[in-house]
């Protein structure tokens, strides 16, 4: 099986001011003259991790990564002002122009796959290839599955109980709104408690095998506050997409070489999401592998690295 490329440090990192008072953290790694790729992290609101640089051959790729609005090292932290899918799509274009890149590969997982599809459908002329992992289309049934008392609560019942226990019984009929009320409270302690419960629930379902370390990292304040607030903001607004938009507009992408990678036992984003996308996009190369949701799981790493290597073989 393919593994990640060795650890690498950025050769350039900088802050970039965009509208709405936001400043984005951007970094570039690998070969400055290589095949350009933009990495889109999950969440929304999760931010970058160093291992995100390692899905690409650093000798052949110019790897561009950024923390999306309100996430990671971008500022203001956890801010919701002018923070929508279409603001992020505009940010990606601004970064492309800042880097002097004409066309690039777009790589995104989980929420990053949502954003990658939205960007590619808005700017198909800028996309050389797509690598999509853990497909999330932000449909109402997907939100109900994991964040309301849907199927995920039956698979992770003890973790669901901890997530639900942060909300009084009389409010549990609409968990998303109940959490939103607390995540936007003027009381910092209330905001933090809700964010940590949300983060622990999400981190608790991300890996195929139990990982207390992953769950703890998602519940840490520096991740949980941005993750929970921004996710709840996007999910309450259906990711600022029209119903069925990402499936409807696949027609714009048929000519783009695309690989879809999804874990068979992904609890957060069930494999049906990837199958629904592939059903309307038979030209895409679908891989359902023995894994959960996390990009770091061995079978997912193997498929993703093969996909990026194949694009490098094609274009380099």
How would you class 27 by CB atoms within 10 Å of its CB: exposed for 0-12, middle for 13-18, buried for 19 or more? buried
Whether 252 contacts 124, CB under 8 Å = yes
pLDDT of residue 142: 97
Express each pLDDT in 3-41 by its tens digit.
999 999 999 999 999 999 999 999 999 999 999 999 999
Domain with CATH 3.40.50.1820 in the chain: 12-139+240-315
Active site residues: 110, 266, 293
CA distance 70 to 253: 29
CA distance 149 to 108: 27
What pTM was estimated for this model as a whole?
0.97
Express each pLDDT in 271-291 by its tens digit.
999 999 999 999 999 999 999
Pick the CATH number of 12-139+240-315 from 3.40.50.1820, 3.40.50.1000, 3.40.718.10, 1.10.760.10: 3.40.50.1820
CA distance 45 to 39: 14
Closest residue by Cα to residue 138 from 119, 110, 116, 177: 110
């Amino acid at each position: 099986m393919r593994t990640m490329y060795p650890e690498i440090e950025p050769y350039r990192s900088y802050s970039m001011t965009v509208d709405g008072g936001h400043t984005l953290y951007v970094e570039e790694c690998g070969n400055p003259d290589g095949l350009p790729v933009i990495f889109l992290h999950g969440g929304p609101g999760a931010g970058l991790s160093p291992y995100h640089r390692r899905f690409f051959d650093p000798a052949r790729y110019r790897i561009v990564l950024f923390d999306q609005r309100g996430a990671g090292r971008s500022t203001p932290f956890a801010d919701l002002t002018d923070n929508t899918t279409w603001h992020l799509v505009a940010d990606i274009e601004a970064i492309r122009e800042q880097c002097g890149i004409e066309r690039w590969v777009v790589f995104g997982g989980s929420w990053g796959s949502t954003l990658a599809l939205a960007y590619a459908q808005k700017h198909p002329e800028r996309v050389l290839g797509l690598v999509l992992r853990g497909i999330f289309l932000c449909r109402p049934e997907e939100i109900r599955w994991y964040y309301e008392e849907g199927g995920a609560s039956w698979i992770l019942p003890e973790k669901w109980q901890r997530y639900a226990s942060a909300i009084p019984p009389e409010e549990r009929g609409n968990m998303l709104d109940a959490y939103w009320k607390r995540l936007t409270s003027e009381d910092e302690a209330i905001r933090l408690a809700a964010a940590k419960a949300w983060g622990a629930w999400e981190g608790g379902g991300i890996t195929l095998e139990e990982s207390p370390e992953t769950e703890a990292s998602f519940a840490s304040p520096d991740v949980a506050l941005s993750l929970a607030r921004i996710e709840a903001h996007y999910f309450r607004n259906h990711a600022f997409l029209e119903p069925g938009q990402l499936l409807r507009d696949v027609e714009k992408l048929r000519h783009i070489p695309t690989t879809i990678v999804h874990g068979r036992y992904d609890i957060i984003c069930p494999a049906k999401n990837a199958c629904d996308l592939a059903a309307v996009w038979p030209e895409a190369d679908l891989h359902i592998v023995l894994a959960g949701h996390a990009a770091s799981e061995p079978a997912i790493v193997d498929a993703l690295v093969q996909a990026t290597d194949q694009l490098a073989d094609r274009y380099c």
